[in-house]
């Protein structure tokens, strides 16, 4: 999922701008539930990206959104 987000330069820049993370923070937090939760919240907040990511990953958008909610609980 993160790879899909970062595969588009504009989307990657938007992720960093909206989450306040830097590339270093993002790299260091790849196993941190808070960082992953922020990434999932980013996806869920923009439905076109959520739907496109779900299609690219062959998973239902609802499952991606649910995973994000679990990470931020």
- How many Cα neighbours within 13 Å face the side chain of 4? 15
Residue with tokens 């993370």: 21
**Whose CA is closest to 37, among 46, 26, 52?**
26
Per-residue pLDDT at 72 exceeds 80 = no
More confident residue, 1 or 10: 10
pTM of the model: 0.83
pLDDT of residue 1: 80
Mean of pLDDT over the chain: 90
Domain ranges of the chain: 2-71
pLDDT of residue 28: 94
What's the rounded mean pLDDT across residues 46-67? 92
Per-residue pLDDT at 11 exceeds 90 = yes
């Amino acid at each position: 999922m993160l790879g899909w987000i970062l595969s588009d330069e504009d989307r990657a820049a938007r992720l960093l701008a909206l989450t306040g993370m830097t590339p270093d923070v993002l790299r260091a937090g790849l196993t941190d539930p808070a960082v992953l939760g922020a990434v999932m919240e980013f996806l869920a907040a923009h439905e076109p990206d959520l739907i496109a990511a779900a299609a690219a990953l062959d998973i239902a958008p609802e499952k991606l959104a649910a995973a994000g909610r679990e990470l931020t609980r």
